[in-house]
Structure 1
Amino acid sequence: MHPKDLSVHDFTYELPEQKIARYPLPERDSSRLLIYKDGAISENIYRNIHELLSPGSLLLFNNTKVVAARLLFQKPTGAVVEIFCLEPPPQYADMTTAMNQKGRVTWICLIGGASKWKPGQILEKRMEYNGEEVLLQARYLGKEKDSFAIELSWSPVSLTFAEVLHVAGNIPLPPYIKRTVEQTDSERYQTIYANSEGSVAAPTAGLHFTDAVFAELDRKHIHREYVTLHVGAGTFKPVKADTMGEHPMHAEFIDVSTSTLECLLQYLNKQITVVGTTSLRTLESLYWLGVKAGRQPNLPLEELVVHQWDPYELNGTPVPAKAALENLLQYLQKKGLNRIITKTSLLIAPGYKFQIPQALVTNFHQPQSTLLLLVAAFVGNDWRKIYSYALENDFRFLSYGDGCLLLRQ
């Protein structure tokens, strides 16, 4: 069956409200870890994950950093308008370029209280930064299909947009965490290795890792490597269509260095474990970028992207993972580039054939979500057994919850 024909209603389960973790545990690495291997389920905690991975293997992380993307503007009447900054429009080459804009930027946003914002009205927000007053203004440019184009401008103009968000914004907790944002969320809804600003949601599988865990991984000679996928708000978008063919997968920026590609080549014959669904989508997207680069070596860089259905509709002789990664490296070297920065809309659903990873570390995901479809593709129908076990044994669900280590048969 083509994944387009899958019904999301076949990927649901009952998730009681009390199973959703509203806060993280006091210690990141004390979260529980469900292990699925050869059809059997066992339990451990993240602090011991080094005991569960092969010596000399590779762990791949997403080092994206969550930005304070929620901006609250209060009108003179007292009414509040919330602007949720989703992503930059296509006029910016990549996320880093957009985040480093000074003085003015255009952004694609969601708006809470849009009816209170009259056309032509400029919203203002004042705050202090390093002893200096910062004035942030928002101007409505136009409506997109499911969002709005907003121009944000500020003074002093020497500040970057990343700095302005840091001063003026709030961390965007997922909508299913039904509470107000607290000061501790700015640290806990962020991995300890986050360094590339641009996400509106955390790569939550990585929230459980600590310096102590990393030290144990080092002692076991388990190598760590990093990719970047900037998580968009589409990660929270429910699948409303009857079949997946009617669901548009959101595009997200990925950024991967040639040194990381070379590292992946060295570990292809060893265990590669991806931490999080975003790392998995990035890794598999690299494979498909390499397939395309091999078939069309003169393809312009801006056209080297991964579309939603590429894995299911690109015909031709199957390409080994080694050849695909080498193709991508040669493509980049030919263009004098030391990294690939592009977009991926890859949808991984049952029927997908994985090319590179053997194991996945991930949290427990919402019913009828594209993330649950990805898990079902990775472990097959046993996803039901895994989730039933987690529910019956009081595992904590979603972003601040526990997680699992899934080893593919």
Structure 2
Amino acid sequence: MQLSEFDFDLPEDLIALRPAVPRDSARLLVSKPNQAIEDAIVSALPGFLRAGDVLVFNDTRTLAASLKASRAQRGPVGGPVSLDINLHQRLDRATWKAFVRPAKRVALGDLLTIHLELKAHVVELGEAGEVTLAFSKSGADLDQAIAQFGSMPLPPYIARKRAVDAQDAQDYQTVYARSEGSVATPTAGLHFTPALLKALDDAGIERHWVTLHVGAGTFLPVKVDNIQDHVMHAETYEVSAQTAAAVARAKAEGRRVIAVGTTSLRTLESIVDPDGQITYGGGDTSIFITPGYQFKVVDGLITNFHLPKSTLLMLVGALIGMEALREVYRHTIDGRYRFYSYGDASLLWKASNS
């Protein structure tokens, strides 16, 4: 398929710069195969599900992974260079892969100063501004320093419009986040409140957890015309035996499995072995789900509204079909739903042939 098939015009004023308050007062679009689209609010979600449905959440916790740094003057002319660092993959106790801007001002061996107490050497250069950084601290000391000197890694389409502030430390984190390691938040989960979680429990809807540590690669644009030529960045996941067993039991009993967010969906679709068995444990996934993919686990998806030409939009097209995708996004824009990380939500049911 061609990248142009996933393009659309989005009015700038539909990009949400702050979340709805309370979180579950955001709007909810509901799309079922061969039925009219419904408009609701997130707090009404239990009414669109049924007892025995299984919701699977990503419990990753987002790091303050956006750092400001400076590179010392080189030679007798010029001066220090200011840099933006976005961590995206931990390699070991002291080493991270990161994206640095402006990338052209960084060279192998450079010493970057984040703070007097935290520095990093550039030990490898990659493509598209990616570098490998060896920090002056390691383990828990490095984690503490990142938390102290970093800020929440808001997506570029928000960060370009306003500065990150203290409110984002709360807003850009799910209420159930517990396993620290993401450098971007699984934003479908931002709509859930303790009250909504209790309402789901009261309605007999099961809740289970996976962990996928989201990387900043999720924001990288697709730059190829043929989408099959795009290469996904790998992300680390962990699925407990309890969650794997619960999902397998639901599938065996004909009950529906709904992923809360594209990260949960990608994790669930990554843990099916060649024999169709649902497995548990940890690993890396670079699964790229595009139209034509045959879903093995997921029956429905709760997700926000995504960037034109993004891999997330392609995933949604794979789940509900391209005709339904176009209809949903026409309805979303005509109805002035709010887009992206702090925007509104959708409940999308799988097309019968997906």
TM-score, normalising length from structure 2? 0.91
Is residue 2:187 matched to residue 1:207? no
Tell me the distance in 2 between the aligned counterparts of 1:114 and 1:408.
41
Residues 4-32 of structure 1: CA deviation (Å, up to 9, x unaligned): xx111111111111111111122100000
**Which consecutive unaligned segments of at least 5 residues does structure 2 have?**
73-78
Equivalent in 49, 53, 57 of residue 49 of structure 2: 53
Displacement of 1:371 in angstroms is 0.5
Distance 2:115 2:8 in 1: 45
Pairing 1:160-309 to 2, within 5 Å after superposition: 160-177=141-158, 178-268=161-251, 269-287=254-272, 290-291=273-274, 294=275
Cα deviation for residue 242 of structure 1 reads: 0.8
Residue aligning to 2:122: 140
Question: Which residue in the other structure is 2:75 paired with?
Answer: none
**Closer, same or farther: CA 85–54 of 1 in aligned 2, 3 Å:** same
Between the two proteins, the alignment pairs up a number of residues equal to 338
Structure 1 residue aligned with 2:86 = 84
Aligned-pair identity (%)? 40
Deviations 1:156-203 (A, max 9, x none): x68433222111111110001121101111111111111111111111
| Aligned AA (2:312) | L
Give the match for residue 3 of structure 1: none
Structure 2 CA distance for aligned equivalents of residues 246 and 388 of structure 1:
28
Name the residue aligned to 2:26: 31
- CA distances 1:116-154 after superposition (whole Å, capped 9, x unpaired): 556655333447xxxxxxx11111212123311111113
My pick for the range that moved more, 141-150 or 78-87, is: 78-87
Amino acid at match of 1:42: E
Query: Can you list the C-alpha shifts for 1:31-75, whole angstroms capped at 9, x where unaligned?
Result: 000011233201111111111101121110011111111111246
Q: Distance in 2 between matches of 1:228 and 1:65?
A: 9
State the 1:219 CA deviation.
Answer: 0.8
User: How far, CA to CA, are the matches of 2:95 and 2:167 in structure 1?
Assistant: 30
1:110 equivalent in structure 2: 99
Question: In the TM superposition, what whole-angstrom CA distance separates every residue of 1:332-354 from its partner, at most 9, and x where no partner exists?
Answer: xxxxxxx5110111111110111
Specify every segment of 5 or more residues in structure 1 that has no aligned partner in the other structure, as ranges: 1-5, 90-97, 128-134, 295-318, 329-338
Letter in 1 for 2:23: R
Indicate conservation of the 8 Å contact 2:87/2:216, yes or no: no
| Alignment TM-score, normalising by the size of structure 1 | 0.79
Asked whether the 8 Å contact 1:162–1:197 carries over to 2, the reply is no
Q: CA deviation at 1:258?
A: 1.0
2:50/2:204 contact within 8 Å kept: no
Contact (CA 8 Å) 1:106, 1:149: kept in 2 or not? Answer: yes
